[in-house]
Amino acid sequence: MAIIYDAPSANWATASQTTAAPRVVYPIAQNTSAIVYERDWVQNEANWSPTALDTADATYTSAFLVEETTPQQIGGTLVTWTQRYATVPNDWSDFDERPFTFPGYYDETTDVNYRAPLTKNCTWKITHSYLKTTDPYADFDVSDFLFQSTDTYGTVLDWVDDSSTPTYTAYSGDVTLETLIDCAHTTLERYAGNIWVKRVFETKAQ
């Protein structure tokens, strides 16, 4: 007896999933809350239309469409493509060794507390934060908090003293407490689809 293949819908007009279960990908090895679900589909090319970004996955409703590949011909009038749905990852921190120049103490070598600006390799803490939004400029706070010492006119100094911001007393207290200071400009970039990632760079005051 001949085998007859029936289309799951008339003339394959309705998209049909060809993956029995979505492929599960963990794109950030250090953060298992970051998950991507990949689904393969087939449909009559004449009936295909793109799915809107941010559409929630039918099963994993905390994952949202971030990518849809271009349909590829597989024979006859049929095309296949892949949809990728991603979760919004939880915040997480990474660490790296990089150089940073810490402010000196006073600008006169005769001062009892004088110290030249200190450049050294140190541990940076890199905090990643995520947000799903179509307007990251309005919705994601990326204010620049790069640590700098300034005088009363806002001029950047390479030292702290009694009249700078922060003052010598305040900054030396931060050194004692190993307070984290922002050691680089905050960055913002697209993680996937309409999910964005902000990175804040910090190191212990020295």
Rounded Cα distance, 115 and 9, in Å: 78
**For position 1, what pLDDT does the model report?**
42
The Cα–Cα gap between 204 and 49 comes to 52
Neighbouring residues of 79: CB distance < 8 A, sequence distance ≥ 6: 42, 43, 44, 45, 48, 71, 72, 73
Q: Which residue type occupies 42?
A: V
Residues 79 and 103 in one domain: no
Residues 55, 148, single domain; the answer is: no
Q: Are residues 112 and 189 in the same domain?
A: yes
Among the candidates 36, 52, 87, a domain finishes at: 87
**6 in a domain, yes or no?**
no
And the tokens for 67?
Answer: 């990518």
Percent of the chain with pLDDT over 90: 89
In a domain, residue 16? The reply is no
Name 190's bridge partners.
196
Range of the structural domain that residue 166 is part of: 92-204
Whole-angstrom distance, CA of residue 51 vs CA of residue 84: 11
Residue 108, in any domain of the structure: yes
Domains in the chain, number: 2
Sign of CA dihedral 157, 160, 161, 162: positive
pLDDT digits (tens, 9 = 90+) for 40-90: 999 999 999 999 999 999 999 999 999 999 999 998 899 999 999 999 999
Do both 149 and 102 map to the same domain? yes
Residues 81 and 134 in one domain: no
Q: Looking at the whole model, is its pTM more than 0.85?
A: yes
Q: Compute the distance between CA of residue 9 and CA of residue 93 in angstroms, rounded to an integer.
A: 48
Phi, psi of 114 (to 5 degrees): -60, 140
